[in-house]
Each structure stands twice: as structure tokens, then as C-alpha cells.
Chains A and B, each alone.
Chain A
Amino acid sequence: MSDEESGPADLSFEDVRRSFYYGDHADMQFKYLARMTDAGAADAIAEVLAAVGETLDTGDLDRLREAVYRAQVAGYLPSEPVAPATEIPFTPLPGSLASLRLALISAGGVYRVDDDPMGPDGPSQQDSLVLITEFLRGTPTLSTIPVDTPNEQLTARHPGYDARSAQRDPSAVFPLDHLRDLAGQGRVQLADEHYGFTGATSQRRLEKQVAPRWAEHMAAREVDVVFLVAT
């Protein structure tokens, strides 16, 4: 077939871009291509592919990582100026950090392998992508993770980002092991419980219904400060 020939299955570049956002080429690491202009997406893809070629020769993963990072930052640039919040809550620390009990909360969909919030037959990471609409309409579940839980007993699922990274290394979004080390050095105290939830959820329900209950739950467990990891 010549380069000029085309058939009914041919896709425009825009079609291809958009297919990364929950389409035929759904890929949470590159879904932002859908919101870029054709020119912007072409530049981003060209830079990443150039870095792939170079990395194949040099093994320099940092070069590739930088290219993907720049593409991602460009891909999420807001199309309109963002109005910063005018009322921001703030509570000064009630004492020295070493005297406070800290709880970790990750929005990265982290949970214990024996405590899937969607039940023992919950969907895999890839299967969760087709459920994105249900997630965004649903009420988030707070998964409790005891302070002594090793990374080997943690996993993650999230239809808004590629949680396979967190499955490979939970500390990438849930650094409880590092906090345990720092607590061991006296830098901070840790609460008995830490938490995960899936940030791809009804933001209204999260803010109005669920988060206040979670805050009460943590306050009742004498949590002084919260370390929230966004994904």
C-alpha cells in the first residue's frame, strides 16, 4: 500500500491523541495528549521518541524521564489562568514536630492486599479504567493501613493514573516505610493507622460528606497532623 492510500480505519492525529484518554489506546501515563493541541502533542511525542532512541544507546534513563516529565508538565498546563484560592485554611503546629502524631493519607488508591475496598474480586488496575465514570460518581472508601504494614502487603488501583507504578513500589505514593524510619530517629511520631483512598471520586461527596467524617475519625485517634499525598 502506498503512503497516500487510506481506508475507513485510518485515524487522524487528533483521533490518535484523544484515544489515549480512555479510548482504544488508553494510557494513564499519556492521557494528557488528548487535551493538547496537535502541534503541542507532536512536539511532545517527538521529544519523547528522540529520548527513547538516545536511551537505547546510552542507557541514560534520566534523559528519558526528563523528556516524559516535560511533556507531562506541558500537557497539564491549564488552558485558562487559574484563580488561586483566596481563603486558605491554616493551623499552626501545636508543638514540636517530634511531639506530634502524624497520619499518612494517599489519594493514590493504596490498600492492603487482603483488604480490597472493592471486595475480593475487585477489578485490576487495567480493568478499572472502564469504570472511570462510576468512580467519579461514587463515594470514596477510606482504607485503613496499620502503621507496621510492610510494602509487600500493599497494592494500589486507581482509574485516573497508572497505579502499576505504586504496585511495583508503594512508597512512590505511600511512603509509610520512610516515615517509620524518620519516626525511629525521633523526627515525628506516627499514628497507629494510616490511610488510602481513590482520588478519582465524586469531589462533592468527598468534600461535603466524607472528608469531615474522616477528620473526626482521625481526631478521635489523636492524630495531630496529616501528610496527604496527591496523585
Chain B
Amino acid sequence: MEALRHRMEELGVPRTLVTPHLMGRTIGPVGDHPRQRAVVAAALDLLESATEPGTTVTFDTTGRA
């Protein structure tokens, strides 16, 4: 989540998708399955496209990162 972006930078995570969601709803709001699905798809896209350690992408609420 955006609120913990700095923690990811501190930890040094290989690939991070930052989501604009509340804590406890990292993937998306409760019951918002289209949003959750888009987040998961964006995470897989990032897994595939990242070429550098520490690559961080912010999820775009239009549906694609």
C-alpha cells in the first residue's frame, strides 16, 4: 500500500507494485473483484517486465500499472 511505500524502499524488495488501497485491503476493496483482478494482473506484468532490482511501479487506478 502507498502508506508503506517507504518500508518497501527500506527493505529492498526486488519488485514492488504499490497499490492505492487501505491497509488490510492490499489487493483491493472488499468485494471489488474487478479491481482485485486488475491488481493481480498488474503484479504479474511487473514480474515479467522488471529488469532491475528494486523496480517499483504504482498501480494505476484505470486498471493497469
Contact = CB atoms under 8 A, between A and B. Distances in A.
Contacts of B14: 88-91
B41 A28 contact: no
Nearest to A31: B23
Interface residues of A, number: 49
Interface string A138-176: 000000000000000000000001110110110111110
Interface in A68-103: 68-69, 72-73, 75-78, 82-93, 97
A69 B22 contact: yes
How many B residues touch the partner, as a band?
35 or more
A216 to B, nearest CB: 19
A63 interface: no
Contacts of B47: 93, 97, 225, 227
Given A84-B12, A166-B24, A188-B44, 15 more contacts: A28-B23, A72-B1, A72-B22, A76-B6, A78-B6, A89-B12, A90-B53, A91-B14, A97-B44, A108-B24, A169-B31, A178-B27, A227-B44, A230-B4, A230-B26
20 contacts: A65-B29, A76-B3, A76-B6, A84-B54, A87-B12, A88-B53, A90-B54, A108-B24, A163-B24, A166-B24, A171-B27, A171-B36, A172-B26, A172-B29, A173-B24, A173-B27, A178-B40, A179-B40, A230-B7, A231-B23
